[in-house]
Amino acid sequence: MATIVKSLSTKGVEGYVVDVETKTISGQPMISIVGLGDTAVKEARERVEAAILDGRFIFPQMKIVVNLAPSDLKKSGSHFDLPIALSLLMEANQFRIKRKEDFAFIGELSLNARLRGCKGVLSMIIAAKSAGIGSIIVPRENLEEASLVQGIKVYGFERLRDVVEFLEKDKEYVVPEDKGFEAESAMGDNVDFSEVQGQELLVEYIVAAAAGGHNMLMIGAPGCGKSMIAKRIPTILPQMSEEEALEVTKIYSVAGLLKGNDSLVRKRPFRAPHHNASTNSLIGGGNRATPGEISLAHNGVLFLDEIAEFSKRTLDALRQPMEDKVVTVSRVKETNSYPANFMLVAAMNPCPCGYYGSDRCSCTDYEVLKYRQRLSGPILERMDLQKYVQPVDFMDLSSYTSKLSSAQLRERVEAARMVQRRRFEGIEGVNCNAQMGQALVKEFCVLDSQCRDLLQRVYDRYKYSARTFHKFLKVSRTFADLEGSVDIRKKDVMAAVMSRDLEKEKVNMAVVS
């Protein structure tokens, strides 16, 4: 009868249980690992053999067959080393598990029998708990990350010999000292909105975008403060809930970005890929269909600086994830789905030289139109707020007067988010106004006759689409929430209409040309 020990693996951001079945049979000494493992899994043969010998055990001189079940699911990673080594030692009658707990094992083995950390541990621990596994053994390096899940016993070890002695009850487990780790901020705390000078109106729209989770596009000349403001948006976003923090941490764990900081990510992510980023790096992909920047920005901010410099194909790939809040990455070897509920903030120049509308601009109308057309209509429609950023006046720039701080702005954002949480309580997948579907818009964005007349005049003049109309309603609802108003007022609709500077500019440019 084969010896079976439990391990785990991941598919996308979700984990699942794997049975490591080991059988020794007569034949030429060799290890054969089956069960659709990748190269890292196949190479476990050499690592396990060297670790067993270095750990002062006897390597069986027989044919060894290891099966990773279920065998029809592709498996990747080096974390199967520990369960393979333990099952092989048990099959060779070199030790027995004398503890009554139901164990699962995760960990990579070095050639000198030390345990190395691996990625995706958080998703695996959650899957183990769901499967009813009571205890799990991981490398000491992953202990803090694994301990984030409550309701399951987690043991961390540094060597293969330590694991065997613990399972045989020859040695009791010593709880390591608490490192007192805390999640690191995706952005440092050394930036603040009080440093922003002369952009009070734009800051108001930034607050509205943060309060409602709305996508935003800023257009302005170089040096007017677009990037500076965008990098300070995380400082006014509300803290993530426990559920949101676990979702983000699972993604970062699967992507291998928690090493050296195995902690719960409590501050909202801020991702700012360079404009030469490929479609795969932004959306997700590669041989193993790994998460991209839009998934790493889940529950946070994706900032695309100089968005017009990104390839049009890459930008158009954002259309479906921005609507569905999830992305499915399909490759020949693997297909994974990742959450992608992010707030998109983008910045661009108004023309190729950047100084459109001033004496310094040398661009023709045709060049400006070609430059603007790098952003397709569907992408622009998905930007709830589109604001021009004016150059800062000298008096504002030289006054050095302290403006509203990030802490003060965050209070307003959190108050508006609290209103939205109460409004959408019990509605799955909806936490802010930007996530409302058409049915929720009809229910919570009711307009009176004055608001309806104003919006109709704007709608008829600029020929907006149905999607843009609904975005106006959502933004109006956010402005009302910021002031604690139950009803959407005329001033809220006007503020929402004024958030579409670029649409009006496009109409004027089309008339000129």
Same domain assignment for residues 158 and 199: no
Q: End of a domain among 406, 428, 450?
A: 428
Average pLDDT per block of 10 residues along the chain, 513 residues long: 95 95 93 94 96 95 96 93 97 94 96 95 96 96 92 96 94 75 48 89 95 96 93 94 92 84 80 95 89 96 96 94 92 87 96 91 93 92 93 72 84 96 92 94 95 92 90 97 96 93 50 36
Q: Give domain status of residue 443, yes or no.
A: no
Q: Give domain status of residue 297, yes or no.
A: yes
**217: CB partners within 8 A, 6+ apart:** 307, 345, 346, 347, 348, 380, 383, 385, 386, 387, 502
Same domain assignment for residues 126 and 260: no
Q: Give domain status of residue 385, yes or no.
A: yes
Chain-centroid distance of CA 421 in Å reads 21
User: Got the DSSP string for 376-442?
Assistant: -HHHHHT-SEEEEEPPPPHHHHHH------HHHHHHHHHHHHHHHHHHTTT-TT--SGGG--HHHHH
Task: State the pLDDT at residue 187.
Answer: 43
Same domain assignment for residues 301 and 415: yes
Q: End of a domain among 361, 394, 428?
A: 428
Task: State the pLDDT at residue 452.
Answer: 95
What gap in Å lies between CA 468 and CA 457, rounded to an integer? 14
Task: State the pLDDT at residue 391.
Answer: 87
Same domain assignment for residues 204 and 352: yes
CATH number at residue 115: 3.30.230.10
Q: Give domain status of residue 16, yes or no.
A: yes
CATH number at residue 326: 3.40.50.300
Same domain assignment for residues 336 and 394: yes
Same domain assignment for residues 280 and 230: yes
Same domain assignment for residues 346 and 200: yes
Q: Give domain status of residue 307, yes or no.
A: yes
Enclosing domain of residue 129: 3-167
Q: End of a domain among 403, 428, 453?
A: 428
Q: Other CB atoms closer than 10 Å to residue 504's CB: what's the count?
A: 16
Interhelix angle 466-482/449-462, nearest 10 degrees: 140
Q: Give domain status of residue 475, yes or no.
A: no
Q: Give domain status of residue 278, yes or no.
A: yes
Task: State the pLDDT at residue 178.
Answer: 61
Same domain assignment for residues 136 and 268: no
Say how many domains are in the chain. Answer: 2
Which CA distances in Å does 343 have to 116, 120, 295, 360, 454? Answer: 36, 25, 11, 34, 28
| Helix, strand, coil percentages in the chain from 3-state DSSP, rounded to 5 | 40, 20, 40
Same domain assignment for residues 211 and 346: yes
Same domain assignment for residues 263 and 349: yes
Same domain assignment for residues 155 and 204: no
Same domain assignment for residues 227 and 326: yes
Lateral strand order in the sheet of 270-271 = 270-271, 301-305, 343-348, 216-220, 385-389
Q: Give domain status of residue 271, yes or no.
A: yes
Chain-centroid distance of CA 401 in Å reads 36
What gap in Å lies between CA 348 and CA 318, rounded to an integer? 17
